[in-house]
Copies of this chain bind each other. A is one copy, B any other.
Amino acid sequence: MTTEQLVAQIYKKKSFLCIGLDTDLEKVPSHLLEEEDPIFAFNKAIIDATHDICVSYKPNIAFYEAYGIKGWQALEKTIRYLNENFPEQFTIADAKRGDIGNTSTRYAKAFLEDLQFDSVTIAPYMGKDSVEPFLAFKDKHTILLALTSNVGAFDFQTKLVDGKELYKTVLETSKSYENSENLMYVVGATKAEYLKEIRQIVPDSFLLVPGVGAQGGSLKDVCENGMNDKVGLLINSSRGIIYASAESDFADAARHKALELQRQMAELL
């Protein structure tokens, strides 16, 4: 999917909502556990109930890997279901990978080519040759961790490198990578005050913003500081939407929560 197609979807749906599929068998409604593939059954119900009010789905790969082969089968079924039925959705493999060149090429192939995700999240620590294999895929997107929303973000990301926070060095350095037009960035909503400075470094890039809702960030603050003339924001919510109810009405409850966010987004667009 091109960035232009994503922007068009955002204006069409008046939504820049990304729903995180952090599917956990200990949290899904118990009646689903009788299904042959409860993870996929849950995801399908969430997708069917929300696809018209969000523009993106983000399976968190750890939750699938934790179930071994069954988890991978559920992941494959989920991305196939999305690509076949809702190809207008921007799909994100939240994998946070990153390794030396020939290894990153493997991960890129797995997520962008075989599973056909539109994008994958990547950790920057190993630098240029760990990121560029992902950037090489045309009309695919590499979402680089810049400033994350967890407490550990202060261990290294905000440390000063030549008088400037490390995450800013990551943003600036990554702009020199080959095919850097395919970059997006993860910026946690708990640090909305930093978004203005981030926008000075990457004015045109899309930012994937987790941490609205469950982790405490404010949607209005994020938009005021982070929106650009092509919106440039994907706001992710995972647990706040998909676990809105643990009963048989879970999909309706998820839609209700997603709709609350989408209505706020429509006003902010």
Contact = CB atoms under 8 A, between A and B. Distances in A.
Interface of A: 22, 60, 62-63, 65-66, 68-69, 72-73, 76, 94, 96-101, 103-104, 106-107, 109-110, 114-115, 123-131, 145, 148-157, 159-162, 166, 169-170, 173
Contacts of A145: 125-126
A96 to B, nearest CB: 5
A129 to B, nearest CB: 4
Contact of A159 (B110, B157, B166): B166
Stoichiometry (number of copies): 2
Given A62-B97, A150-B130, A156 B125 contact: yes
A174 to B, nearest CB: 9
Contacts of A62: 97, 99, 103-104, 106-107, 110
Contact of A72 (B72, B104, B169): B72
Nearest to A211: B100
A23 to B, nearest CB: 11
A68 B162 contact: no
A189 to B, nearest CB: 13
Contact of A66 (B109, B170, B173): B109
